[in-house]
């Protein structure tokens, strides 16, 4: 409560500036209300993989998940990977624009609080790891920064028990089948995750190849269930 009061006081004295339109945000976030409303919110979606659906369906599952349920329990994502969310994510991910990361993570926290208001939160949070060589070149792991903030705001322990021990080429441009083959056996678990429900953090989910491989790895290590939390979901079919 004190932190919220101090944040409100700070923005009243030094008003925030919207990262998209440049106007005074008029709220305790560097994003104005009109731009917030105009974001590509993910409304009708598969209850399992969060794939955008053209309209609500009785089953609430996409055809792929009906045929072959994924190893994870569900994907929680507030947005489609579309303008201007894609711009904010790329600023954060590739240009270390931490203000964009803060705005996105703050709204993700609010989304998760509403989603889990009548459900128990996961036991631990684990960020999707980068191979050490890629993290060295990039300078930071965006998933870890997201996970650190989510852990702090939601009071869920942060764990780094997941390792990416094998270097893999970039997934961009690969088909879903190529992505799965590329990631096979790339991750290992250090330590005990037995009986834990895990929130796996990533920035964007595209074909679900990465989160599927990691989910298998965590479940094989004894995890009870895996839930995926991400900023955005692409409309790509697998």
The domain ranges of the chain are 42-233
Greatest Cα pair distance in the chain: 55
Work out the mean pLDDT of the chain and round it to a whole number: 88
Q: For residue 137, what pLDDT is reported?
A: 80
For 42-233, CATH number out of 3.40.50.1100, 3.40.920.10, 3.30.470.20, 3.40.50.2020 equals 3.40.50.2020
Give 49's Cβ-side CA count (13 Å radius). 27
Whether omega for the bond prior to residue 84 falls within 30 degrees of 0, making it cis, is yes
Enclosing H/E stretch for 214: helix 209-220
Instruction: With cut-offs at 50, 70 and 90, classify the pLDDT of residue 141.
Output: very high
- CB–CB of 190/219 below 8 Å? no
Residue 16 has pLDDT above 50, yes or no: yes
Q: Which letter does DSSP use for residue 158 in this model?
A: B
Give 132's Cβ-side CA count (13 Å radius). 3
Report, as an integer, the average pLDDT of 186-213.
95
Buried b or exposed e, range 71-96, using 16+ CB within 10 angstroms: bbbbbbbbbbbeebbbebbebbbeee
Report, as an integer, the average pLDDT of 143-171.
90
């Amino acid at each position: 409560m004190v932190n919220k009061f101090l944040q409100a006081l700070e923005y009243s004295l030094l008003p925030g500036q919207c990262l998209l339109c440049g106007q005074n945000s008029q709220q305790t976030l560097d994003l104005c209300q009109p731009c917030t409303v105009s974001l590509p919110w993910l409304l009708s979606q598969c209850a399992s993989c969060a794939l955008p659906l053209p309209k609500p369906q009785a089953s609430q599952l996409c055809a792929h998940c009906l045929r072959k349920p994924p190893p994870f329990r569900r994907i929680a994502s507030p947005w489609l990977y579309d303008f201007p969310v894609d711009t904010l994510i790329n600023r954060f991910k590739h240009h270390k624009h931490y203000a964009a990361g803060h705005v996105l993570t703050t709204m993700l926290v609010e989304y998760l609080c509403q989603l889990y208001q009548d459900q128990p939160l996961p036991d631990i949070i684990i960020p999707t790891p980068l191979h050490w060589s890629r993290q060295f070149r990039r300078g930071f792991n965006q998933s870890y920064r997201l996970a650190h903030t989510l852990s702090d705001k939601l009071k869920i322990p942060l764990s780094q028990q997941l390792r990416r021990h094998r270097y893999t080429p970039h997934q961009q441009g690969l088909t879903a089948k190529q992505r799965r083959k590329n990631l096979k056996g790339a991750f290992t678990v250090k330590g005990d995750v037995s009986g834990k429900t895990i929130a796996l953090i990533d920035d964007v989910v595209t074909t679900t190849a990465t989160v599927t491989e990691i989910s298998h790895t965590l479940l094989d290590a004894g995890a009870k269930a895996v839930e995926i939390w991400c900023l955005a979901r692409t409309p790509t079919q697998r």
